[in-house]
């Protein structure tokens, strides 16, 4: 269900050591305080002395699973410790039927576009987890033209209103060589809608511009208008955001992310998007839930964070990825099934829209 570590990357830990590590990680996730040997001995429920527990904790620290903050005698998990906990020790708590139905109702709310649906789902993930919710917008191989309108603006500008696929609306402003009247623009839009509704944008662009450019000199006034509108409207496929993020401010409440400089860098990464988009692109080609802990993401800005993602599909084709970003001290047993179910429900909603 989730991303496993590299085979052989963990030494064999005996059952007692695993039990103590599990108890320590769970305690730290719950309380956020370094765990001492007396507390761990009590939590583990084993007939062990604090001295024995201290020895085990020292061994785990030497192996890189725990570390001791300078201000405390207790231990906290490292990224390596979290990884072993997730791969070998974590008990996932499946969502109950009521929780799944609540998610389904929220995701099935009527929306105007896939971008609006993505924003709604990112808000949903953020609200439930109190972390940052991220949803990559669907990436389609085919963008279908449904309708186009042109509205005249001042200074030789024209507002283009495009309806794509089932109900996605995109607006863009183009600069024309001369002013166009309302009637001319209506006629040009009528021609394009009559000839190309239901066709792939890329095919429209290639066929229309190739054929019309060849006969540009002999075109009447209407077709000259169509050519200029089409050249700019279909010059590149309309693009929007790559992904949407909600709940970044929740991260400011996480004690583990209290370093203002690191928070600033993280927020800049949300805005610039390049690094996060590269990470999410990797997840497009993976199956099931993926978990990146700290430096596993490969990006310095995320070294104090964990990212939990899952792809969503339509008709077997992966269209995007969603997930949450938060501190490494997150409730993985809760977050992992939540991300997994949300991805499945989003896929179901997109499939229903397509039908």
Three-class SS string for 27-67?
HHHHHCCCECHHHHHHHHCCCCCHHHHHHHHHHHHHCCCEE
Which CATH number is 69's domain given?
Answer: 1.10.10.10
The predicted model scores a pTM of 0.69
Which CATH number is 222's domain given?
Answer: 3.30.390
| pLDDT single digits (tens) 169-193 | 888 888 888 888 899 899 989 988 8
**Whether 58 and 104 share a structural domain:** no
Whether the pLDDT of residue 7 is over 50: the answer is: no
Look at residues 199, 233, 267 and tell me which one is the last residue of a structural domain.
233
Whether the pLDDT of residue 339 is over 60: the answer is: yes
**Whether 173 and 317 share a structural domain:** no
Our measurement of the distance from residue 303's CA atom to the centroid of its chain's CA atoms, rounded to an integer in Å, reads: 18
| pLDDT single digits (tens) 56-81 | 999 999 999 999 987 667 999 999 99
Q: Is there a domain that residue 4 lies in?
A: no
- Specify whether the CB–CB gap between 243 and 134 falls below 8 A: yes
Q: Report which of 352, 350, 341 is spatially closest to residue 100, judged by C-alpha positions.
A: 341
- What residues make up the domain containing 222? 145-233
**Whether 158 and 101 share a structural domain:** no
Q: Is there a domain that residue 1 lies in?
A: no
**Whether 313 and 187 share a structural domain:** no
Q: What is the pLDDT of residue 237?
A: 47
Look at residues 233, 252, 274 and tell me which one is the last residue of a structural domain.
233
The total domain count for the chain is 3
| pLDDT single digits (tens) 18-40 | 999 999 999 999 999 999 999 99
**Whether 245 and 350 share a structural domain:** yes
Q: Is there a domain that residue 2 lies in?
A: no
**Whether 261 and 344 share a structural domain:** yes
Distance CA 315, CA 275 (A): 28
| pLDDT single digits (tens) 189-244 | 998 888 888 887 767 777 666 666 666 555 567 777 777 777 777 765 444 457 88
């Amino acid at each position: 269900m989730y991303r496993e570590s590299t085979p052989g990357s963990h030494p064999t830990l005996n059952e007692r050591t695993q039990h103590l590590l599990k108890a320590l990680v769970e305690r730290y996730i719950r309380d956020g305080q370094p765990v001492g040997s007396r507390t761990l001995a009590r939590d583990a429920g084993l007939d062990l002395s604090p001295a024995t527990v201290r020895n085990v904790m020292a061994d785990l620290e030497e192996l890189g699973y725990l570390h001791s903050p300078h201000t405390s005698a207790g231990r906290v998990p490292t990224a390596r410790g979290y990884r072993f906990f997730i791969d070998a020790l974590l008990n996932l708590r499946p969502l109950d039927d009521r929780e799944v139905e609540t998610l389904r109702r929220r995701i099935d709310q009527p929306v105007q576009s896939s971008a609006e649906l993505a924003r709604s789902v990112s808000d949903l993930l953020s609200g439930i987890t109190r972390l940052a919710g991220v949803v990559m917008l669907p990436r389609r191989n085919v963008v279908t033209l449904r309708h186009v309108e042109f509205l005249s603006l001042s200074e030789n500008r024209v507002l283009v209103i495009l309806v794509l696929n089932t109900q996605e609306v995109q607006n863009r402003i183009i600069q024309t060589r001369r002013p166009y009247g309302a009637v001319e623009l209506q006629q040009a839009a009528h021609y394009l809608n009559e000839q190309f509704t239901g066709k792939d944008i890329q095919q429209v662009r290639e066929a229309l511009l190739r054929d019309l450019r060849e006969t540009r000199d002999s075109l009447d006034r209407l077709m000259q208008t169509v050519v200029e509108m089409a050249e700019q409207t279909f010059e590149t496929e309309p693009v929007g955001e790559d992904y949407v993020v909600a709940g970044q401010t929740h991260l400011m409440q996480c004690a583990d992310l209290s370093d203002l400089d690191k928070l600033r860098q993280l927020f800049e990464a949300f805005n610039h998007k390049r690094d996060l988009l590269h990470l999410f692109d990797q997840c497009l080609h993976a199956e099931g839930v993926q978990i990146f802990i700290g430096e596993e993401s490969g990006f310095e800005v995320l070294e104090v964070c964990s990212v939990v993602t899952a792809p969503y599909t339509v008709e077997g084709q992966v269209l995007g990825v969603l997930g949450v970003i938060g501190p490494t001290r997150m409730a993985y047993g809760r977050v992992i099934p939540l991300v997994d179910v949300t991805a499945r429900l989003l896929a179901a909603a997109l499939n229903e829209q397509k039908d």
